[in-house]
Amino acid sequence: MNDSKFSLNALLIVLMVFSALGLFVTDKLYDMAGRMVVMYNYAPIEGTDLGIKYSTLEPSGIYRGPENNGELVAEGDFGYDWGAAVIGDQLYINEYSMTSVDMTLCDLVRIDTKTFDREVVQKNTILRGRCRSGELVCVGNAFLPSNKPEVNSLCKFYAMTSNEVRADSTIRVLFIDPETGKVVYSVADSNALTNVVKKRYLDHTLEEVMR
Amino acid sequence: MRKIRFGIDVRRAMTGADLYVKVLQISSILPLLYIFTATGYMAIMGSRNVLSVLFDLGMCAIPRVEALALSYLYRLTSSEIFVYFALLAIALAVGVATDKILRGAPDASVKAHRIVAALIGFDLVLRLIPLSFNMTFGLPAEAAGWIVRAVCLALVIRDLKEWEKNK
């Protein structure tokens, strides 16, 4: 009995040692291989001299000035594809972060376009744009669809202790006051990550949506 | 073979508590396969497959408090690698500690068996509370975890009863 228990403990120790080696090879070498593929995207932010660059050759982030010769003012993986909003000096935008196996998480952040101070407004929230009355329309409690949360066990595990994010279809559309960053209205909508968001929310005022 | 006077394991090869520790250790290994594969082959996360089923089963078979702590650690660090080594470390620590205590001095061993029984009982009750974290991995995996645990509890209680009888 003692021998067999020792062997299970020994197996765990062996696993630990080989995992450390194996994970270094798969995680680090995979990462190096990932950077061999050249990717580049640039999108100017309307009404400003800023642009968002995503590149595997130079640091990704917000650049000021011309596309080819801009100055990096805020480093990070920002998303312009799902929605961004500039209100005065405040830029609301999605910021992506990766877990160690490259699962993508998304937070709504507010960036001061003068000082470039960054503040997380809502964690695990995806900005989709602004409705006609000016509130930010976001999807809360959600993983990015690219993670395939409905079948991804890591998403379920991540959501296990979280009230902010759900791996099932109980996602909510949040209307956030851009001045205060507070949620002023929310509505459950399992289609919030599809194109119906424009027709249902972005093309209406908050009052119309509440009706 | 080591001679011990304590009645729980003089004749039998394995007690319920030993089995529970083994279940805990083996179920700790199951989620590792998925994480390890995902570090090199991300596409595995995009579909339901054998490894994801093993992940779910493993997570449901480890104590619920441990699973919650690991999930919190995962959110805190955003690192599957931390979770991976934490799972391994906990399984190893439990294995080494229980090896010493469950097979040690009779008094300490009986106490340890009682503590194991209480912990399994607490875990079983915790799993029945209708909270969202109790249905994270779906009913089949949750039911499997509950049944495995209930069997272990029954065996530990039987061992303790036998010991009381032989005393």
Q: Does B159 touch chain A (CB under 8 A)?
A: no
Please name the member of A13, A151, A156 whose beta carbon is closest to the beta carbon of B46.
Answer: A151
Residue of A nearest to B92 (CA): A9
B53-80 confidence digits (pLDDT tens) = 999 999 999 999 999 999 999 999 989 9
| Strand positions, DSSP E, A32-180 | 40-44, 50-55, 61-64, 71-75, 77-87, 90-98, 104-112, 118-122, 126-130, 136-140, 172-176
Residue B107: other Cβ atoms inside 10 A: 9
Q: How far apart are CA A153 and CA A179, in angstroms?
A: 37
Average pLDDT over residues A4-32: 75
Confidence category of residue A193, pLDDT binned at 50, 70, 90: confident
B95 and A5 within 8 Å at the Cβ level: the answer is yes
Q: How far apart are CA A9 and CA B84, in angstroms?
A: 16
In terms of DSSP bridges, do strands A118-122 and A126-130 run parallel, antiparallel, or are they unpaired? unpaired
Q: What letter represents residue B80's amino acid?
A: E
Best to test chain A binding among B75, B79, B132 (most A CBs inside 10 Å): B75
In terms of DSSP bridges, do strands A40-44 and A104-112 run parallel, antiparallel, or are they unpaired? unpaired
Q: What percent of chain A has pLDDT over 90?
A: 14
Residue A161: other Cβ atoms inside 10 A: 19
Helix (H, G, I), strand (E, B) or coil at B2: coil
A113-137 confidence digits (pLDDT tens) = 889 899 998 888 889 888 899 899 9
pLDDT number for residue A169: 67
Q: What is the dihedral of CA A194, A195, A201, A203, to 10 degrees?
A: 170
Length of chain A: 211
Element (H, E) at A188: strand A183-188
B141-163 confidence digits (pLDDT tens) = 999 999 999 999 999 898 888 88
Confidence category of residue A196, pLDDT binned at 50, 70, 90: confident
pLDDT number for residue B57: 95
**Nearest to residue B141, comparing CAs of B59, B80, B78?**
B59
Confidence category of residue B11, pLDDT binned at 50, 70, 90: very low
Contact A107, A92 (CB under 8 A): no
- Whole-number average pLDDT of chain B: 87
pLDDT number for residue A29: 64
